[in-house]
Amino acid sequence: MRCDKRTFLAVVTRVQQHWKDRIHHNAKFGIHKRVAVTLVYLSTGSTIDSAASLMGMSKSSAVIYINQVLKVLQRMARHVIYMPHTEAEITCVRTGFERISGFPDVVGAVDGSLIRISRPAEHEGWYCRKNFPAVNMQAVVDHTTRFRSYCIRAGSINDQALWNQSGLRNNTLIPSGMHLLGDAGYKIFRHILTPFDEADAASSPKKRRYNYKLSQTRITVERAFGILKNRYRILLGKVQQKTPTSVARVIVSCLVLHNLMVELKDTYPVTGQDPERAPVPVLSALASEDELSHAQGLAKQTDIMEYLFSL
């Protein structure tokens, strides 16, 4: 199950608190076993048949139990995955990021990752730039690798388009004066900072230092995707679900479980990288309403460059 016993029992308790389905008192398998078979299915990346066999139950029972638990985990998402909003939370995240390399006022690191899926019947739009059917997930992660926001769309949607379709673009989820850190796949705005162009940075020590510090700080999002996919190996292979809704439920359930592992300080060692980082797209022209925010982002980028060079 790729977690320690203490954490597993705590997860069972959390799931039980949100459980709505009636379980008959004579039922052969209670919530404990239902959560266990779900974690085996998600963490091994094997089939439901294999998970059912390992847990000593029929495939038909395992299908029912896994779907029950996935629905509960999906309902739990709003309680477990959220942007920091209290003053204490914002301060904790900001100082946590600043301790990494000195980059100030960061409230999250954003990136995209491709997750392979079975070819949908209506497959147009689901093929990514790497030419396989997938979903593209954009996520914001904090300094502890906890997922704070996510947006899941078809594989043909690139990082910038995902950003445009999320609530993050309108700056409604980012505290005033704070910003996210993105890679070159994102445009720079007042609430998301990106690296200087590598060609420009090559001849500027200040820009190189800024880029280095930004990269050091936002490595947490790459680590988070690596841990997520290597703990829940169903995301490393092809998610075998029949509908996009079911695919999204599996992914969100894995995000919820990942955050619980972080919160509960699980001791099971998980290492590895994300083999399917979303490719950097070609950026389109700015819309007129974004020009002011873009200019403010460029000014903030320059100010922080000078600040980091003075450290």
Percent of the chain with pLDDT over 90: 75
Report the mean per-residue pLDDT for the chain: 91
Residue among 233, 237, 231, 236 nearest 262 (CA):
231
Which pLDDT does position 171 carry in this prediction? 66
pLDDT, mean of residues 9-32: 88
Which pLDDT does position 306 carry in this prediction? 97
SS3 (DSSP) at 115: strand
SS3 (DSSP) at 213: helix
CA distances from residue 156 to 137, 139, 241, 243, 284 in whole angstroms, order as listed:
11, 17, 19, 17, 15
Which pLDDT does position 282 carry in this prediction? 47
At residue 13, does pLDDT exceed 70?
yes
pLDDT, mean of residues 199-206: 95
- Count how many Cα atoms sit within 13 Å of the Cα of residue 222 in the half-sphere of its side chain: 13
Which pLDDT does position 288 carry in this prediction? 53
Interval 21-79: pLDDT, tens = 777 766 789 999 999 999 999 999 989 999 999 999 999 999 999 999 999 999 999 99
Q: How confident is the model at residue 20 (pLDDT cuts 50, 70, 90)?
A: confident
| CA 161 to the chain's CA centroid | 16
Residue among 37, 18, 38 nearest 253 (CA):
38
At residue 149's C-alpha, the angle toward residues 19 and 42, to 5°, is 50
CA distances from residue 66 to 49, 149, 157 in whole angstroms, order as listed:
12, 24, 29
Which pLDDT does position 287 carry in this prediction? 58
Domain range annotation of the chain: 5-80, 87-310
CA–CA gap between residue 150 and residue 163 (Å, rounded) = 10
Name the pTM for this structure: 0.93
Interval 113-164: pLDDT, tens = 999 999 887 778 899 988 999 999 999 999 999 999 999 999 988 777 777 7
| DSSP string across 223-290 | HHHHHHHHHSGGGTSEE--SSHHHHHHHHHHHHHHHHHHHHTT---------TTBPPPPPPPPPPGGG
Interval 233-290: pLDDT, tens = 999 999 999 899 999 999 999 999 999 999 999 999 998 999 887 665 544 555 555 7
What tokens appear for 152 in the block? Answer: 């899941």
Which pLDDT does position 47 carry in this prediction? 92
Helices (H) and strands (E) in the chain, counts: 10, 6
- Of 185 and 42, the one with more pLDDT: 42
**Which pairing describes strands 106-117 and 238-239: parallel, antiparallel, or unpaired?**
parallel
Longest dimension (CA), the chain: 73
Which pLDDT does position 25 carry in this prediction? 65
- What is the crossing angle of helices 244-263 and 5-18, to 10°? 120
CA–CA gap between residue 15 and residue 31 (Å, rounded) = 8
pLDDT, mean of residues 88-99: 98
Q: How confident is the model at residue 105 (pLDDT cuts 50, 70, 90)?
A: very high
CA–CA gap between residue 226 and residue 138 (Å, rounded) = 14
